[in-house]
């Protein structure tokens, strides 16, 4: 197994509190020197949240904000411009502050199925309801993500890019739990092969990235994500039950990295490093894999995004992740 990060690395899921991107990037790069990421700051408003940021990347599919959320429109407008402006400013700061970074660097975009379940058609129904609209969305996302990766590479030309697709809504899409616009019924479940192909299509549109998927929900479809090309899977450790042991073990045995969320994502007393690391050690011990392999194949993260935390806690949480990862790697247990 060869991973682009050093053993004992930590990173964050994506979102960060506040509205000062430059300060957020300084904190991220300072506390997570082995594997920094491009932070998302939803507090800045329209176009800075996970859905809006990615919706703004879509090619030839303009969007706008309605009271019910993001909706496809007929022409680019103010909301598209806001999302685009946020991203352009962020990449300018990235080039200024980390332009010489020559290690791994992670970026995040919303995955196709969570996006299709969140964005509305012009008639107010979810894109997910219309198979043709879903195909158009995936094709547009594939092109938009490829352009985004190129833009990031111009800002940090020596970095090795990790591309994370955020798919917190994927289990609900697969299980047919996504509500209709009225909320009175549920949309039909998407078959696993189709869901797998949609994610694979986005990954295959981008050259030379390390592909991973974040799914901070129960019932993570590990096999589907591996089949879609993910070389890393990011999960909330609190939502990994023992019944998933076989799927998790197969994932580890296949050489897929696990990004394990073990630090609370909102303000809370931080436990000792030993207590934070205990679920990771227990999982590894239960599945029978070596401690040395654990240090290479596991990346420690917060349980989910940090947008709901205070800036002080967010900094402490990132430092705690890095210290936990380092201890896990250096430990003999």
Judge whether 315 lies within some domain: no
Judge whether 288 lies within some domain: no
Categorize the per-residue pLDDT at 1 as very low, low, confident or very high, splitting at 50, 70 and 90: low
Judge whether 290 lies within some domain: no
Tens of pLDDT, residue by residue over 205-227, are 999 999 999 999 999 999 999 99
Judge whether 265 lies within some domain: no
Tens of pLDDT, residue by residue over 177-210, are 999 988 889 999 999 999 999 999 999 999 999 9
Q: How is 245-295 classified by DSSP, letter by letter?
A: HHHHHHHHHTT-EEEEEEE-SSS-----HHHHHHHHHHHHHHHT--HHHHH
Proportion of the chain above pLDDT 90, given as a percent: 91
- CATH of residue 88's domain is 3.20.20.210
Judge whether 256 lies within some domain: no
Judge whether 333 lies within some domain: no
Categorize the per-residue pLDDT at 332 as very low, low, confident or very high, splitting at 50, 70 and 90: low
Q: Which of 165, 158, 190, 194 is nearest to 50 (CA)?
A: 165
Judge whether 269 lies within some domain: no
- What secondary structure letter does DSSP report for 100? T
Q: Is the pLDDT of residue 130 over 70?
A: yes
Judge whether 323 lies within some domain: no
Tens of pLDDT, residue by residue over 261-308, are 999 999 999 999 999 999 999 999 999 998 888 989 999 999 999 999
Its domain, for residue 208, covers: 45-230
Is residue 102 within 8 A of residue 159, CB to CB? The reply is: yes
Count: domains in the chain: 1
């Amino acid at each position: 197994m060869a991973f682009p990060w050093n053993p004992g690395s930590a990173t964050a899921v994506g979102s960060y509190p506040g509205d000062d991107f430059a300060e957020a990037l300084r904190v991220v790069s300072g506390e997570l020197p082995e594997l920094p990421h491009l932070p998302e700051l939803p507090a800045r408003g329209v176009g800075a949240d996970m859905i809006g940021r990615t919706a703004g990347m879509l090619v030839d599919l303009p969007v706008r904000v309605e009271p019910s959320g993001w909706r496809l429109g007929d022409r680019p407008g103010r909301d598209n411009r806001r999302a685009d402006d946020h991203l352009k400013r962020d990449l300018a700061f990235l080039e200024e502050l980390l332009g010489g970074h020559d290690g791994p660097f992670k970026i995040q975009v919303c995955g196709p199925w969570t996006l299709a379940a969140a964005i509305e058609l012009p008639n107010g129904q979810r894109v997910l309801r219309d198979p043709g609209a879903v195909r158009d969305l995936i094709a547009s996302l594939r092109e938009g993500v490829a352009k985004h990766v190129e833009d990031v590479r111009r800002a940090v030309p020596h970095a090795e890019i990790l591309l994370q697709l955020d798919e917190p809504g994927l289990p609900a899409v697969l299980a047919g739990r996504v509500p209709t616009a009225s909320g009175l019924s549920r949309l039909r479940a998407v078959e696993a092969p189709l869901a797998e192909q949609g994610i694979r299509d986005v990954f295959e549109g981008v050259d030379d990235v390390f592909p991973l998927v974040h799914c901070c929900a129960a019932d993570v479809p590990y096999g589907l994500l591996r089949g879609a090309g993910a070389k890393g899977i990011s999960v909330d450790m609190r939502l990994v039950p023992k019944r998933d042991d076989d799927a998790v073990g197969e994932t580890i045995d296949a050489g897929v990295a696990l990004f394990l969320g073990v630090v609370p994502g909102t303000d809370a007393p931080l436990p000792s490093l030993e207590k934070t690391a205990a679920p990771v050690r227990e999982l590894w011990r239960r599945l029978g894999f070596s401690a040395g392999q654990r240090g290479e194949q596991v990346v420690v993260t917060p349980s989910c995004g940090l947008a709901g935390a205070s800036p002080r806690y967010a900094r402490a949480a990132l430092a705690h992740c890095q210290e936990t990862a380092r201890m896990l790697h250096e430990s003999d247990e």
